[in-house]
């Protein structure tokens, strides 16, 4: 973990209520209008190059708002050694920006030096739990902070799986001693694609591990649901979110939109809906 005198990598700012994913299309509007958004989620991998204009904008946003980091590059489930070069870059970036937390996914995306753009699921076995938990613990040690891991949506399952996805997720985070970023849309997409009950998933999540939630839009492809993050949150996902708020603590929630990025006011409208659910289920302002 952190060595004496080393700069802290996370814990910067208080994260509460409904945040929005920070996208380059909205930098100027955010900085000019300083909208009433309690926090922004930053896509870590977009800022790991050398300097550049995006980093200048991000530092200006960070001067006004707390942020969290969300990455896709740790490939925590891969079989090859952790990419220490990548983790070093994430750590240096975090020391500079001071996010409230750093998250990545419960998946693998690299093998034999090749990186996939997909976040691929693992077989849900005891062996994979040990493997994943060991690598998360190693990554936490390198970064010097607790990690938050997100459940991914999936389109295939493994004949070798010995348990449900939620049993796997809970066992991994308990063994690794990390937290969960619960993506409600991903639960719904996977529940439809694999035919399980999304509420069983919610009921298995330990409250004390649930650090945050994600909301996003999927696309109905006829044969399956595809997690595109390019549409408003669908009605069944709002209903599941309401159940999650009642079942779990009212943790910070993010509106996540990655493709066909709409004008910023559309994201504010989605955040308003989430805030309404927050208040409806808690009786307290978000
Ligand atoms: Fe997500």
Angle formed at CA 185 by CA 33 and CA 268, multiple of 5 degrees: 15
How many angstroms does the Cα of residue 15 sit away from the middle of ligand 1?
Answer: 17
Mean local confidence (pLDDT), 130-137: 96
pLDDT in tens, 145-155: 999 999 998 88
| Mean pLDDT of the residues in the chain | 91
**Residue 233 to residue 255: CA distance in whole angstroms:** 9
Residues forming a β-bridge with 43: 70
The residues, ordered by sequence, that sit 6+ positions from 133 with a Cβ below 8 Å of its Cβ are 171, 172, 175, 176
Report CA(64)–ligand 1 centroid distance (Å). 24
Distance (angstroms) between ligand 1 centre and the Cα of 208 equals 19
Please answer whether residues 257 and 222 qualify as being in contact, where contact means their C-beta atoms are separated by less than 8 angstroms: no
How much is the average pLDDT of 205-213? 96
Query: Distance, CA 5 to ligand 1 centroid (Å)?
Result: 34
Task: Give me the pLDDT at residue 286, please.
Answer: 57
Q: Would you say residue 2 has pLDDT above 60?
A: no
Of all residues in the chain, the percent with pLDDT exceeding 70 is 94
Calculate how far, in angstroms, residue 183's C-alpha sits from the geometric centre of ligand 1: 5
Ligand 1 centroid to residue 91 C-alpha, Å: 21
Structural domains for the chain: 18-282 (3.20.20.150)
Instruction: Count how many Cα atoms sit within 13 Å of the Cα of residue 114 in the half-sphere of its side chain.
Output: 4
Q: What is the mean pLDDT of residues 10-17?
A: 78
Rounded distance from Cα 18 to ligand 1 centre (Å):
14
For ligand 1, the distance from its centroid to the CA atom of residue 186, given in whole angstroms, is 7
Q: Could you give the 3-state DSSP secondary structure of residue 195?
A: coil
With b meaning 16 or more CB within 10 Å and e meaning fewer, what string describes 91-113? bebbeebbbbbbbbbbbbbbeee
C-alpha 245 to ligand 1 mean position (Å): 17
> Sorting pLDDT into bands at 50, 70 and 90, what band is 285?
low
Q: Quick count: other Cβ atoms within 10 Å of Cβ 114?
A: 7
- Nearest-5° Cα angle at 18, 41 to 242: 125
DSSP assigned state of 243? H
CA of 114 to the centre of ligand 1 (A): 23
Q: Residue 135 — very low, low, confident or very high, per pLDDT cuts 50/70/90? A: very high
Please state, in angstroms and as integers, the Cα–Cα distance from residue 45 to each residue in 70, 79, 93, 109, 214, following that order. Answer: 8, 21, 10, 14, 18
**What's the whole-number mean pLDDT along residues 113-131?**
85
pLDDT at residue number 211: 95
Report CA(198)–ligand 1 centroid distance (Å).
16
Check residue 202 and give its pLDDT: 96
* The pLDDT of residue 5 is above 60: no
| Ligand 1 center from residue 228 Cα (angstroms) | 10
- Spacing, Cα 232 to ligand 1 middle (Å): 14
pLDDT, one tens digit per residue, over 23-77 is: 999 999 999 999 999 999 999 999 998 878 999 999 999 999 999 999 998 989 8
Task: Give the pLDDT confidence score for residue 282 in this predicted structure.
Answer: 82
pLDDT reported for residue 226: 84
Helix (H) or strand (E) holding 72: none
With cut-offs at 50, 70 and 90, classify the pLDDT of residue 252.
very high
Higher-confidence position of 282 and 284: 282
């Amino acid at each position: 973990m952190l060595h004496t005198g080393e700069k802290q990598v996370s814990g910067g700012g208080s994260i509460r209520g409904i945040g929005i994913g920070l996208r380059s299309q909205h930098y100027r509007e955010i900085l000019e209008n300083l909208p009433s958004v309690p926090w922004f989620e930053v896509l870590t991998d977009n800022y790991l190059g050398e300097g550049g204009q995006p980093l200048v904008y991000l530092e200006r946003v960070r001067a006004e708002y707390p942020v969290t980091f969300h990455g896709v590059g740790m490939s925590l489930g891969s079989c090859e050694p952790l990419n220490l070069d990548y983790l070093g870059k994430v750590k240096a970036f975090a020391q500079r920006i001071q996010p409230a937390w750093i998250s990545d996914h419960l998946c693998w995306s690299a093998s034999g030096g090749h990186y996939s753009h997909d976040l691929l699921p693992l077989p849900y076995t005891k062996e994979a739990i040990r493997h994943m938990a060991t690598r998360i613990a190693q990554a936490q040690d390198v970064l010097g902070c607790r990690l938050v891991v997100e459940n991914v949506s999936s389109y295939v399952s493994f004949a070798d799986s010995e348990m449900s996805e939620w049993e796997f997720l809970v066992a991994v985070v308990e063994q690794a001693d990390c937290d969960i970023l619960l993506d409600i849309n991903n639960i719904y997409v996977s529940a439809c694609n694999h035919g399980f009950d999304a509420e069983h998933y919610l009921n298995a999540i330990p409250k004390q591990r649930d650090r945050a939630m994600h909301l996003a839009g999927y696309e109905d492809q006829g044969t399956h649901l595809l997690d595109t993050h390019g549409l408003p949150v669908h009605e069944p996902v709002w209903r599941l979110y309401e159940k999650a708020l009642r079942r779990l603590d009212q943790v910070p929630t993010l509106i996540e939109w990655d493709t066909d990025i709409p004008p910023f006011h559309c994201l504010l409208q989605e955040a308003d809906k989430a805030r309404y659910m927050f208040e409806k289920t808690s009786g307290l302002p978000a």
